Chains A and B, each alone.
Chain A
Amino acid sequence: DQQVKQNSPSLSVQEGRISILNCDYTNSMFDYFLWYKKYPAEGPTFLISISSIKDKNEDGRFTVFLNKSAKHLSLHIVPSQPGDSAVYFCAAYNFNKFYFGSGTKLNVKP
């Protein structure tokens, strides 16, 4: 059973608006979380991360929120741009291993 889940396979957003990508996890022992972005025919690239001892981390247009009690992670992109169109994976780390969600395909419409 997957320990990290992204329940929305796709998301469509208008350029300039906010994109919110969600991720749920089951293992309360995860101590670090990351988001990766993936374009077709390329490997994933790191976007932003957050330690389990924090509840928010911001980097430019990207903000990650962590709700440990709900075991929920979200990525906010504001404002969304067409170049943000990609597949986004959330990932969690525990004891030398990484666990990834199934990905959400974001389409930002001009």
Chain B
Amino acid sequence: EAQVTQNPRYLITVTGKKLTVTCSQNMNHEYMSWYRQDPGLGLRQIYYSMNVEVTDKGDVPEGYKVSRKEKRNFPLILESPSPNQTSLYFCASSRAAGQGFYEQYFGPGTRLTVT
């Protein structure tokens, strides 16, 4: 089954404790992206990756890191989480955004709470 998986689905952590949210897709997609969803703000793009070893900032990259060492995986790293990063996070992938393949497939979401 074609899918995007995220782990963990729920996470409660404390300020400053480094964490990683994993994202994996099995569709051989080139483009992958992370979003956060907040009330009244919709989804905002954090980082995206056009392909392996190619990443770039989205609209709200501060406080986040990403890496793309393999095509299928795109982990989101919070080196020192703060309460304002409490949010619902989505990973998404698509064949090749910008080359006629704009439809993104989303993971189920990770609800992160930072106390």
Whether A and B are associated in the same complex: the answer reads yes
Q: Which residues of A contact B (CB under 8 A)?
A: 2, 4, 6, 32, 34, 36, 41-46, 49, 89, 91, 93, 95-103
Instruction: State how many residues of chain B have any CB contact under 8 Å with chain A.
Output: 26
Question: Across the two chains, which residue of chain A brings its CB closest to B38?
Answer: A102
Q: Which residues of B contact A (CB under 8 A)?
A: 4, 33, 35, 40-45, 48, 50, 56, 58-59, 90, 92, 97-98, 102-109
A32 to B108 alpha-carbon distance, docked (Å): 24
Q: Show 30 A/B contacts (Cβ-Cβ < 8 Å), sorted by A.
A: A2-B41, A34-B103, A41-B108, A42-B109, A43-B4, A43-B106, A43-B108, A43-B109, A44-B106, A45-B106, A46-B104, A49-B102, A49-B103, A89-B43, A91-B43, A93-B97, A93-B102, A95-B98, A96-B50, A96-B56, A96-B97, A96-B98, A97-B58, A98-B33, A98-B45, A99-B45, A100-B44, A101-B42, A102-B41, A103-B42
A84 to chain B, nearest CB (A): 19
Q: Are B103 and A46 in contact (CB under 8 A)?
A: yes
Task: With A100-B42, A102-B42 given, name 11 new contacts (CB 8 A).
Answer: A2-B41, A41-B109, A43-B90, A43-B106, A44-B106, A49-B102, A49-B103, A97-B48, A97-B59, A98-B97, A101-B42
Q: Are B97 and A89 in contact (CB under 8 A)?
A: no
